[in-house]
Each structure stands twice: as structure tokens, then as C-alpha cells.
């Protein structure tokens, strides 16, 4: 069986591919656990750049709805476990002493879009789909909100998370969710490689020192907000209103 998250290393550049293409790389607890383990394994590497991307046509469609809909999973605790695991993973990625790049190849939705905000640099293409539709499903993007605010600034993050919905990669670039934009999907791999190689041309220790200071400046390693966010997201997820909205969303997918 293929791994749920595959790590490869080429010189100073590591690439982590979320590999659940049949489910648009949505976050199952199992996939998050493999991602934890792969990121842990980087701590002692010589890599100075980590690229995170998705297998197939999506980056990451967010939480695995089958896992968070209690009627389907039969496990009331799964949602909180998943959100807690995601919160810890985001802190782990932010704390890496290397530059992280999200290569958003397709849909980056909810937690998937939040994962791109954790990375230092986001590369995407004009036709990707990004956004925070949590509120459309009765959910709250609390677990990723600190990263979204750090990425876009509080004003734009406030509007994006409260409006909900999905935007194109081009629109995402215009509001600061994307730093480097390819014209189309076909151009993304080359642009990602160009950015990753340019970043890797920096001195690894100079990069790590700079990143450490940036983390200090924006306070993003103060984990309390992220862990509290996971709790809030889980408590909203458990409400009957949210569960009913999720159930309604699941139906068309079955047909």
C-alpha cells in the first residue's frame, strides 16, 4: 500500500506529498499521523527547504468529512483527535529550521488552505481553488485562524474567514494568500522548482536564524492560540447544527 504522505529528498530540498488523491488529500487521522512522522524525520536532515504539495489534482480538501460526521464515523471523539493532530502538525511545521513552501496544485480548502498559510511561502496557479468555507458548513476555522491572520493580516483574514466560500488562485494572490502565481496548472511545477531552488541557494543557518526571528516577531510559536483553536473548532463541529449541515453536504457526493 502506498504511503499516505510521501517524503523525498533531493539535495537540500525535501518534498512532502499528501497522498490520498481519491479523497482530494483530505485530512484523515491516519494521513496526519504519517505527516507528523515524516516532518519529525526532517529535524536531523541537511535540508534547507521543504515543499508540501498534494498528489493528483488537489492540494488538500480540508478535514475528511467522513471522519468528522459522527453518523458515518460512529466515533464522537474522532473530530477532536483530528483537529488536535492538525494543530500540533502546524506548530511542528512552523517550528522547522528550514523554509517551507506550499505548492498549491489544486483545491486547498479549509484546513488545507490553513496548511498553506503555515508555510513561509505559497506558490499556486491562477485556476487553483482556495478558501475557508467552514462557516458555510456551520463550522469554525479556529484551529487555523492564527496562521491565516499571520499570513494575510488581520483585516483580510477576518473578511476571508467570515465570508466563507471559495476563490481562485488568482484572487487568492491578490489578497496575499499566494506569494508566487503560475498562469496555469501546467506551469506550477516549474515555478515551484524555481522558487525552491532559489530559497535553497541561501545559507541554511542564515535561513534558520532569519526564520527563528520571524517566528519570534509574529508570535506564531506561542502555541496556546492554536491549541485553543483546535478545541473551539471541535466544540463547534460537535453541535447538532454543524452535524446536520455536514450531513446535507455529504448527500450529493453519494449520488
**Looking only at residues 106 through 135 of this chain, which bind another protein when binding is defined by CB under 8 A?**
117, 120-122
Q: Note whether 216 binds another protein by CB under 8 A.
A: yes
Between residue 84 and residue 103, which ones bind another protein under the rule CB under 8 A? 99
Report in angstroms how near the CB of residue 208 gets to another protein at its nearest: 9
- CB-based contact 142:235 (threshold 8 Å): no
Confirm or reject binding of residue 187 to another protein (CB under 8 A): no
Task: Give the residue with the Cβ less far from another protein, 18 or 117.
Answer: 117
Around Cβ 38, how many Cβ atoms within 10 Å? 19
In terms of CB distance, is 56 or 204 closer to another protein? 204
- Site size toward another protein (CB under 8 A) is 31
Q: Which is nearer to another protein, 85 or 116 (CB)?
A: 116
Three-state SS at 190? helix
**CA 124 to chain CA centroid, nearest Å:** 13
- Decide the pairing of beta strands 5-10 and 13-18: antiparallel
Is the distance from CB of 148 to CB of 114 less than 8 angstroms?
A: yes
Give just the sign of the alpha carbon dihedral 157, 159, 160, 161. Answer: positive
Contacts to another protein by CB under 8 A: 99, 117, 120-122, 150-153, 156, 176, 179, 195, 198-199, 201-207, 209-214, 216-218
Amino acid at each position: 500500500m502506498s504511503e499516505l504522505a510521501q517524503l523525498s529528498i533531493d539535495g537540500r530540498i525535501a518534498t512532502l506529498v499528501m497522498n490520498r488523491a481519491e479523497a482530494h488529500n483530505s485530512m484523515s487521522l491516519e494521513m496526519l499521523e504519517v505527516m507528523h512522522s515524516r516532518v519529525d524525520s526532517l529535524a536531523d536532515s541537511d535540508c534547507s527547504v521543504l515543499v508540501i504539495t498534494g498528489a493528483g489534482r488537489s492540494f488538500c480538501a480540508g478535514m475528511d468529512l467522513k471522519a468528522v460526521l459522527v453518523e458515518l464515523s460512529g466515533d464522537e471523539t474522532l473530530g477532536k483527535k483530528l483537529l488536535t493532530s492538525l494543530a500540533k502538525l502546524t506548530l511542528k511545521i512552523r517550528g522547522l529550521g528550514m523554509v517551507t513552501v506550499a505548492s498549491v496544485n489544486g483545491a486547498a480548502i479549509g484546513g488545507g488552505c490553513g496548511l498553506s498559510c503555515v508555510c513561509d511561502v505559497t506558490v499556486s496557479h491562477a485556476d487553483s481553488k482556495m478558501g475557508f468555507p467552514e462557516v458555510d458548513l456551520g463550522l469554525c476555522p479556529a484551529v487555523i485562524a492564527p496562521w491565516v491572520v499571520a499570513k494575510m493580516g488581520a483585516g483580510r483574514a477576518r473578511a476571508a474567514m467570515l465570508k466563507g466560500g471559495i476563490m481562485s488562485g488568482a484572487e487568492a494572490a491578490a489578497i496575499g494568500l499566494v506569494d508566487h502565481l503560475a498562469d496555469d496548472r501546467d506551469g506550477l511545477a516549474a515555478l515551484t522548482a524555481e522558487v525552491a531552488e532559489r530559497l535553497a541557494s541561501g545559507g541554511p543557518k542564515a535561513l534558520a536564524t532569519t526564520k527563528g526571528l520571524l517566528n519570534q516577531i509574529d508570535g506564531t510559536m506561542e502555541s496556546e492560540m492554536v491549541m485553543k483553536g483546535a478545541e473551539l473548532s471541535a466544540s463547534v463541529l460537535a453541535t447538532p447544527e454543524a452535524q446536520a449541515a455536514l450531513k446535507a453536504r455529504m448527500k450529493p457526493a453519494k449520488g
